[in-house]
């Protein structure tokens, strides 16, 4: 689904090379013919430079598969670190509207939209809203004769003539040009700005019936607003759609690892009104959903028509808790106008999402908060899905971004200084580029130039420990369960049962870390594995032979991957246990509920043979046996006694499948100690792991469930689909190396977990 006109700007890269702005007080005119005549020599040089850069880029990347990136975070050599611009607001000269026909016009309430086509019926209805002025922002795709009675329209040429610094950073064919519109509205007296698109119709034709337009009066400050609780430790983001009756729907920008949390809040708290400076509305019909949801729920030409609970109370977000915010159904009050800036160096599908999280963190500095409201608009589903790859990096990085923002601190003394500092910090972390740091500086100077007064900082103690909510402070609200779409049919009791199963699995494994080793191309499968298993486990840590920071993939070697596990154990020191899984083995988690999480799990009784370690002859096994004997001789008494009681002689070694095994918390230290005993010895994974297990405990004490798995050695790749069974705890081998094969796997696994069909 497309949000506004969220197409990837084809000319943006060239524009970013051209507009290298270092003096923010200078502005440029977009009179194209004049500009060309004055800069013909520069154009020739720039063209040669662009061709050279393009050629160099081509030869450097010709053999490397590429994907659409929302965030740049590469291990390749980078230019020097982004610099923090100096912000001298005292020297900023006022910018007055002297060129547009609307120079004398003022209004307190504005609706800002981006337009790429002739006025839609929805846009015409927005113009009829009483007390609101519609401001339409054009781009390179907008018809030249665009016109709508009652609306103010700013073409590319008019935008350039306004004198705003931000114009130099904006791509020509993107909705992010709305940043010019925000400044224009502020310049012309705005106190409230409704960030909208041209496809949403306000329910009932009155924004005042849905949002809190007045925040300063005594009544507004006395009202009590339901607020999410912070009782759950380390909770940093919520899915607001659950609160409004749609627990199987999630908004664009929600980390995919949070999609599986479908249970409602046990209780809420309350907060006084008056500081809800950003107000996010819910959309009926086609809500703001990501490509994963849209592609899996959309069947043929049938339009999505999802309805949320209009009677559910609005709900506030406390500090340290965030929610996705979009750019087509959000009301901003004056104290949050600084947060309207749409980043330019990221994909359009990520721009408003990043803005929303960035804004929420800074909102805490002025003691403001976000409130989510019941359905405010209705949007018809008239668009086609966009490729999932357009969002991949957004999904991978947004969870990391939220954690970064929640932990970010600054000692700056003024809000604008903190804003610029955070933008710079995000560039250093790779969430956006240095271009957005410069863009932020230009934006802040433009805000000052149009007369915007930055809010004062408040003394907010973000590092205080969370206090226990007393019984009298707890407020109860149980969301309704409204009908939804599920694989093209209406959600029914069957789906509610399936969601109940998902909750049960998550409750059972929600404090277990899954560690996966991916031998295939991580660019094609890493995110898919997280989508599959991240719904069930606390987190999914992925190892591979090559690290990939963009995909959060860590480096490891399969033959000795056990040596990499202690550092992961240390990172998650409060979990129940750790489940290791190689990507050539499929885990049917729904069949693991009966396994004892306090015991060791390993498939020690499945049929196996020595050819399971390819290319190794008898002499190699002899050497491995000698190394095992050496390690056993150094084991402390409790480990050595267990190992020798298990049966292996000095001349033999135990060999079993180690593609999947589980280590509970009580055996973690023993595992770590055994890895230390191995040290630099070259003991293979499939020999070391059985040795560890027999040393940690007697085989008769192992949980036996994994011995029921399907385990075939030498199975033909053409028969893998026939090999799979949803009735066993795991299946080996089953190789998934591409997205198409992943989809085939999901369809097979849906026999045990029907909700998986939402991922294909």
Angle at 325 between CA 320 and CA 330, to 5 degrees: 125
Residue pLDDT, tens place only, 498-524: 666 777 888 899 899 999 999 878 887
Residue pLDDT, tens place only, 445-461: 999 999 999 999 998 77
Angle at 319 between CA 315 and CA 325, to 5 degrees: 55
pLDDT exceeds cutoff 80 at 207: yes
Cross-strand bridge partners of residue 201: 378
Q: Report residue 81's pLDDT band, with 50, 70 and 90 as the boundaries.
A: confident
Residue pLDDT, tens place only, 469-506: 666 678 989 888 887 665 444 444 444 556 667 778 88
Radius of gyration of the chain (CA): 29
In 3-state terms the chain splits into helix, strand, coil percentages (rounded to 5) of: 40, 15, 45
Averaged pLDDT, 338-346: 96
Query: What does the pLDDT read at residue 294?
Result: 81
Residue pLDDT, tens place only, 102-114: 999 999 999 999 9
Cross-strand bridge partners of residue 490: 485
Answer with the residue of higher pLDDT: 715 or 332: 332
Question: Which range has the worst mean pLDDT, 138-152, 217-231, 643-657, 663-677?
Answer: 643-657
Both structure tokens of 546: 């090559």
3-state secondary structure 264-275: CCCCEEEEECCC
Q: Which range has the top average pLDDT, 76-90, 524-538, 615-629, 675-689? A: 675-689
pLDDT exceeds cutoff 50 at 306: yes
Burial profile 544-573: b = 16 or more Cβ within 10 angstroms, e = fewer: beeebebbbbbebebebbbbbbbebbeebe
> Over the chain, what is the mean pLDDT?
83
Residue pLDDT, tens place only, 546-603: 888 878 899 999 999 999 999 999 999 889 999 999 999 999 999 999 999 999 999 8
Averaged pLDDT, 383-395: 63
pLDDT exceeds cutoff 70 at 247: yes
pLDDT exceeds cutoff 70 at 264: yes
For the chain, domains (ranges, CATH) are 190-474 (no CATH), 495-611+653-757 (3.90.550)
């Amino acid at each position: 689904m497309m949000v506004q006109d969220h197409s990837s700007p084809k000319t943006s890269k060239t524009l970013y090379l051209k507009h290298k702005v270092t003096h923010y007080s200078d502005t440029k005119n977009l009179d194209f013919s004049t500009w060309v005549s004055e800069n013909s020599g520069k154009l020739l040089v720039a063209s040669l430079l662009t061709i050279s850069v393009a050629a160099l880029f081509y030869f450097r990347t010709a053999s490397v598969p590429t994907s659409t990136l929302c965030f740049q975070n590469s291990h390749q050599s980078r230019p020097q670190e982004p610099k923090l611009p100096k912000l001298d607001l005292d020297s900023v000269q006022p910018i007055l509207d002297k060129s547009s026909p609307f120079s004398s016009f003022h209004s307190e309430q504005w609706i800002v939209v981006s337009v790429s086509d002739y006025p839609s019926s929805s846009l015409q209805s927005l113009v009829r809203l009483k007390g609101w002025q519609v401001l339409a922002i054009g781009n390179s795709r907008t018809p030249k004769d665009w016109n709508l009675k009652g609306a103010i329209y700013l073409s590319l040429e008019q935008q350039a003539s306004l004198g705003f610094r931000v114009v130099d950073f904006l791509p020509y064919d993107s909705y992010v040009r709305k940043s010019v519109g925000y400044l224009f509205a502020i310049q012309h007296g705005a106190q409230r700005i409704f960030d909208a698109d041209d496809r949403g119709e306000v329910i009932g034709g009155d924004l005042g019936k849905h949002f809190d337009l007045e925040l300063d009066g005594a009544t507004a400050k006395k009202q009590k607003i339901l607020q999410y609780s912070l009782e759950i430790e380390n909770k940093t983001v919520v899915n607001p759609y659950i609160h409004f009756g749609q627990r199987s729907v999630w908004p664009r920008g929600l980390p995919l690892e949070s999609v599986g949390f479908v249970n409602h809040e046990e209780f809420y708290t309350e907060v006084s009104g008056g500081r809800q400076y950003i107000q996010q509305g819910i959309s009926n019909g086609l809500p703001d959903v990501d490509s994963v949801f849209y592609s899996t729920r959309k069947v043929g030409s049938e339009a999505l028509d999802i309805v949320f609970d209009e009677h559910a109370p609005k709900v506030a977000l406390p500090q340290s808790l965030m929610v996705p915010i979009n750019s087509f159904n959000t009301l901003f009050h004056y104290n949050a106008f600084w947060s309207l800036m749409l980043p330019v160096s990221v994909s359009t599908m990520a721009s408003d999402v990043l803005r929303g999280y960035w804004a929420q963190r800074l909102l805490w500095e002025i003691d403001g908060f976000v409130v989510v409201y019941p359905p405010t608009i209705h949007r018809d589903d008239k668009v086609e899905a966009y490729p999932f790859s357009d969002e991949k990096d957004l999904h991978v990085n947004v969870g990391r971004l939220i954690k970064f923002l929640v932990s970010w601190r600054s000692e700056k003394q003024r809000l604008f200084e903190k804003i610029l500092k955070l933008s710079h910090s995000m560039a250093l972390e790779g969430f956006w580029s240095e271009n957005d740091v410069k863009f932020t500086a230009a934006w802040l100077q433009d805000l000052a130039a149009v007369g915007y007064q930055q809010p004062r900082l408040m003394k907010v103690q973000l590092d205080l420990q969370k206090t226990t909510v007393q019984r009298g402070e707890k407020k109860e609200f149980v969301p309704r369960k409204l009908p939804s779409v599920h694989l093209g049919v209406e959600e029914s009791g069957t789906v509610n049962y399936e969601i109940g199963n998902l909750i049960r699995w998550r409750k059972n494994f929600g404090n277990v870390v899954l560690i996966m080793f991916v031998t295939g191309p991580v660019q094609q499968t890493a995110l898919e594995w997280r989508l599959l298993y991240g719904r069930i486990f606390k987190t999914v840590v992925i190892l591979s032979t090559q690290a990939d920071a963009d995909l959060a993939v860590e480096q490891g070697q399969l033959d000795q991957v056990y040596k990499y596990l202690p550092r992961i154990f240390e990172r998650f020191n409060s979990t129940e246990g750790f489940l290791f899984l190689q990507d050539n083995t499929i885990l049917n988690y729904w069949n693991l509920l009966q396994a004892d999480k306090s015991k060791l799990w390993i498939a020690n009784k499945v049929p196996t043979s020595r050819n399971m370690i390819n290319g190794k002859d008898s002499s190699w096994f002899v050497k491995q046996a000698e190394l095992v004997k050496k390690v056993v001789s150094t084991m402390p008494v409790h480990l050595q006694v267990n190992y020798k009681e298990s049966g292996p002689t000095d001349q033999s070694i135990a060999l079993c499948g180690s593609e999947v095994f589980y280590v509970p918390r009580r055996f973690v230290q023993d595992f770590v100690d055994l890895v230390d005993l191995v040290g630099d010895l070259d003991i293979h994974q499939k020999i070391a792991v059985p040795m560890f297990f027999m040393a940690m405990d007697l085989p008769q004490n192992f949980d036996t469930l994994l011995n029921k798995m399907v385990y075939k050695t030498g199975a033909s790749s053409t028969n893998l689909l026939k090999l799979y069974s949803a009735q066993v705890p795991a299946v080996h081998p089953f190789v998934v190396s591409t997205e198409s094969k992943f989809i085939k796997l999901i369809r097979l696994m849906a026999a045990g977990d029907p909700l998986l069909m939402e991922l294909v």
